Amino acid sequence: MERYFPAPLVVGQKDEAAPVWPILKQEAGAYEVFAYAFESIDLAPIPGFGGTPPDLLIALAPDGSFRDVRVIAQHEPVFLEGLGEAPLFAFVEQYVGLSARRAIRVGRPNARANGAAPQAVVDGVSMATASTRVINETILAASLAVARRKLGFGAPAQVGLKVEARADLFEPLRFSQLLARGYVARFTVTNGEAEAAFKGSAVEGQSESPPEAALTDLVIAYLNAPAIGRNLLGEARHAALMRELGPGDHAVMVVSAGPLNPLGDDFVLGSVPDRLSIQQEGLTINARDMAIERRGAGMDGLPAGPWTILRIGSQAGFDPAALWSLSEKIVRERGQILVERVARDFATRYALPAALFTRESPDAGPSWTESWRARSVELGLIAASLGLLVPVLVRQRGLVADQPRFGAFRLAFLAFTLLFIGWYAQAQLSIVTLVGLVRAAAATHDLSFLLYDPPSLLLWGFVLVSLVLWGRGTFCGWLCPFGALQELAAWLARPLRLRQIAVPPRIDRALRLVKYALLAAILGAAALASPLADSLAEAEPFKTAITLYFLRATPFVVYGIGLIILNLFVYKGFCRYLCPLGAGLALAGRLRMLDWIPRRAECGSPCQLCKVRCRYGAIAPSGAVDYAECFQCMDCVTIIHDPGQCVPQVVARKRGRVLVPQAVAAE
């Protein structure tokens, strides 16, 4: 803590009840709390996609705003060997100055530049959406825990709160009636009260006015409620004000009836007033002048002095029906050359009847639900594509049996997998998820990190079902973006007529075992909490080619491109020999329920057509299908249903017989 908060700051004694350190700063000879510092892992150990929680150093100011946020440790795969840590450091820097009191969400990169409110949105990081959402949840959860304990406010009950003034409650009221009902509050500070507050300071005794005379006299009114706003402003101006406010925003009018201008002589329209502030639940709420027309406003009885209408954003969690306060800072000065200023705050409370409002309690659910709402379109398109794929694969005598049409469908679907599922939705499944599961099982026992990446979780659910039914092939042959990239590259390279390398059977069998050894090494290192797991996981080129669009260090790019070139000579060589995820799916696929690929007695002896045509080497000389190596390309299914290609059918037709294919058990 002393390294992060060097002199002139002083690290105070750690709180006995919680791992929180007060950071002190000397002011006027005394030490005041500058911030409360803590590590997120002590208060909100939310696992990331590496299976372990990120650890952030957070400094929270007494008003609930972030003084500083820094990364101490993290194991997010995309920030370890992918993008590097610089984008993560820049991401957490955005929190400085924001308030833990507000619901902060992660938007798409450059969201704030496109008009989103900076108090509510922090720019995400391209290719790291899920990881940044986990980190955002970590920061807010840890900070709110400290705010409740040290700052004495109930932020979680306010974040997301929706309170709206009832539009149907209106009756004409005079200004005196508004005051009598408490709809409008009057706040007065006399010269005598101000003098008492400045007693003992260098500016004591400056007032020459009678003690009972008002120094400041303010009228405070919440304008959203028609019973207040329409009476004060008139129907037309109130309607215009409501149109200008955003959904869920609030407007508070402050009018001066006293000699002291609460806005100050140098006040700039549209700014946050230096001398006025609104507090609720112990925290200051951001309230900014609306910079609207100043002339001709107000009903009879409303003072004609300086005034402002303050806008409170919807993300502030402000509850106008609950008790809140308005504070005015009164400043006195002494000296002309070396000016000495002394300030004192005076506050009044204000609350309105709950009957004026409709109140919707915050029920946004866990933070991961925001990820699902934000990516609903992507989820819908992926779900629709899966809904299209299943009947095509199941109805083997339909589109699959029509080789030209099925070939076009397969190419189009692979293009969708690469472009949308992979590069756009960033839903490339990876061995990294299995590493996270192993680490979670060994340490945190928390699988919530999976919920922050909805497209991937949707695909994982589908893949698990398809594993039980068909084996690994549905994912590896149809839904893996890097697999699709290899197949499309090979299709585009067909005019080059590159000669394929025939791997001898003995070497082929030995190479197929490499992926299983790699899988065991990665998961073993993860179980032992070794960082070697992250390094071994780089055997997958998915992060380089799909997540980071090849925008990475040269060795990783060379490796990824090298595997695509290898694929042109040894078809999908990475998938067959090196992919640890494919190895895991192949092992799980042994639990499949169906031997769904039809075979005939003639398959293998004497007919070897399907074996020769299978580019994956998944058909044995006997004609049996090795489902652990099958990528469900459906070429053999097309052949066996095509009377013009299937050799036994050709022979049988010549002899006047009809053959019916049957599914047989795999070897």
In this structure, are residues 324 and 351 in contact, taking their beta carbons and an 8 Å threshold?
Answer: yes
Count of helices and strands (H, E) across the chain: 26, 20
The number of angstroms, rounded, from the C-alpha of 545 to the middle of its chain's C-alpha atoms is 23
pLDDT, one tens digit per residue, over 354-409 is 889 887 655 555 667 777 887 889 999 999 999 999 999 888 888 888 889 999 99
Opening angle at CA 33, ends 29 and 37, nearest 5: 140
Q: Do the bridges between strand 283-285 and strand 287-289 make them parallel or antiparallel, or are there none, so unpaired?
A: unpaired
Give the DSSP H/E element, type plus range, for residue 221.
strand 214-222
Q: Do the bridges between strand 105-107 and strand 121-123 make them parallel or antiparallel, or are there none, so unpaired?
A: parallel
Cα dist from 321 to 176, 217, 578, whole Å: 21, 23, 62
The DSSP output letter for 369 is H
Per-residue confidence (pLDDT) for residue 465, from 0 to 100: 93
Per-residue confidence (pLDDT) for residue 151, from 0 to 100: 72
Q: Which amino acid is at 479?
A: L
Per-residue confidence (pLDDT) for residue 161, from 0 to 100: 55
- Enumerate the domain spans of the chain: 10-155, 162-360, 375-594, 595-667
Closest C-alpha to 594, from 663, 523, 505, 524: 663
Q: List, edge to edge, every strand of the sheet that includes 340-350.
A: 283-285, 276-280, 324-334, 340-350
pLDDT, one tens digit per residue, over 435-449 is 888 888 876 666 777
Distance, in Å, from the CA atom of 191 to the CA atom of 208, rounded to the nearest integer, reads 9
Alpha-helical regions (H) of 147-224: 155-158, 175-181, 191-198
Distance, in Å, from the CA atom of 440 to the CA atom of 146, rounded to the nearest integer, reads 25
Sites in the chain below the pLDDT cut of 50: 111-119, 154-160, 663-667
Distance, in Å, from the CA atom of 339 to the CA atom of 55, rounded to the nearest integer, reads 45
In this structure, are residues 238 and 248 in contact, taking their beta carbons and an 8 Å threshold?
Answer: no
Distance, in Å, from the CA atom of 639 to the CA atom of 649, rounded to the nearest integer, reads 10
Opening angle at CA 435, ends 433 and 441, nearest 5: 105
Q: What residues does 327 pair with on adjacent strands?
A: 277, 347
- CB burial of 355-386 (b: ≥16 within 10 Å; e: otherwise) equals ebbeeeeeeeeebbebbbebbeebbebbeebb
Cα dist from 162 to 292, 350, 363, whole Å: 25, 19, 10
> What is the greatest pairwise CA distance in the chain?
123
